[in-house]
Copies of this chain bind each other. A is one copy, B any other.
């Protein structure tokens, strides 16, 4: 019994290969996490357990997919970055996105009990994530994307910290706190925190203020002050790499698997982070740290 009669339906599948030599960012977001955080009693404004769980899942995704260069997480979202030279799954968009979303979800669910021992999952209300791929043609724009997320982290966290301090410590109603914060700028919020509650925002936890950066650790390099081309050289590397053979790519993947995946809470807007870790933007593994 052949299946040829119906096989024509395969012709309806349409290709979704992403443009070569561009940065691929897969951003995933928690679905309905506002409700979910209520159901499972997440602490406001930041629940360390929830963030640690996000980071643990992100680390597993990075380990599973050595083609990933870096990831950045804040709140219930995570951005995973593939290098322009990435050829994984022939750069098929749906395959890349769903693999990341599914792997992330699997580890998030599996490790839930470790981070929330006192709040077991209540089916059918399980956490889940959606995702999408976005292309960035140059390193400068990729870095602007990363900066955008970290600035967003800062803006939201300063707001939330101030709001919840006013409510939790200041005894204000949600509505009153919201109203007072309307139209304020950063310095206003810093002042409210400091003057009314003695809180120096800069002493807040770095994970809350800066988000979480996940990458492979090699030996840090000295920044090269003479370098003009701060943001990687879009003109050279990507083209060469896209021509690397399958076997070379496999070799690179093996090298990357040997590196430790670390979680950091640091500034990724300034150049320093990138200059000391040139392997992130170059896509070429660095030197493993000496034991």
Is A213 among interface residues, defined by CB-CB distance under 8 A?
A: no
**Set of chain B residues within 8 Å of A69, measured between Cβ atoms:** none
Q: Which of A39-47, A140-148, A214-222 contacts B (4 or more CB under 8 A)?
A: A140-148
Is A152 among interface residues, defined by CB-CB distance under 8 A?
A: yes
A interface, size bucket: 35 or more
The B-contacting residues of A in range 147-167, CB under 8 angstroms, are: 147-148, 151-152, 154-155
Is A98 among interface residues, defined by CB-CB distance under 8 A?
A: yes
Q: Which of A1-9, A175-183, A248-256, A271-279 contacts B (4 or more CB under 8 A)?
A: A1-9
Nearest-neighbor residue (CB-CB) of A228 within chain B: B228
Encode contact with B along A120-150: 1 for CB under 8 Å, 0 otherwise. 0101101111111111111111001101100
Is A28 among interface residues, defined by CB-CB distance under 8 A?
A: yes
The B-contacting residues of A in range 80-107, CB under 8 angstroms, are: 84, 93-95, 97-99, 101-103, 105-107
Inter-subunit contact B138/A21 (CB<8 Å): yes
Q: Of B84, B107, B154, which is within 8 A of A123 by CB?
A: B107
A157 to chain B, nearest CB (A): 12
Inter-subunit contact B102/A31 (CB<8 Å): yes
| A132-B7 in contact given A1-B186, A102-B102, A109-B110 (Cβ < 8 Å) | no
Inter-subunit contact A148/B6 (CB<8 Å): yes
Q: How many copies does the complex hold?
A: 4
| A129-B3 in contact given A134-B12, A239-B144 (Cβ < 8 Å) | no
Inter-subunit contact A141/B9 (CB<8 Å): yes
A56 to chain B, nearest CB (A): 10
Inter-subunit contact A140/B234 (CB<8 Å): yes
Once bound together, how far apart are the Cα atoms of A57 and B148, in whole Å? 36
| A7-B148 in contact given A12-B135, A137-B22, A141-B12 (Cβ < 8 Å) | yes
A161 to chain B, nearest CB (A): 14
A233 to chain B, nearest CB (A): 9
Once bound together, how far apart are the Cα atoms of A141 and B8, in whole Å? 9
Given contacts A8-B239, A9-B144, A106-B128, 16 further A-B contacts (CB under 8 A): A6-B144, A6-B145, A8-B243, A11-B20, A14-B19, A14-B134, A14-B135, A22-B22, A31-B102, A93-B94, A94-B97, A99-B130, A101-B102, A102-B102, A139-B235, A141-B239
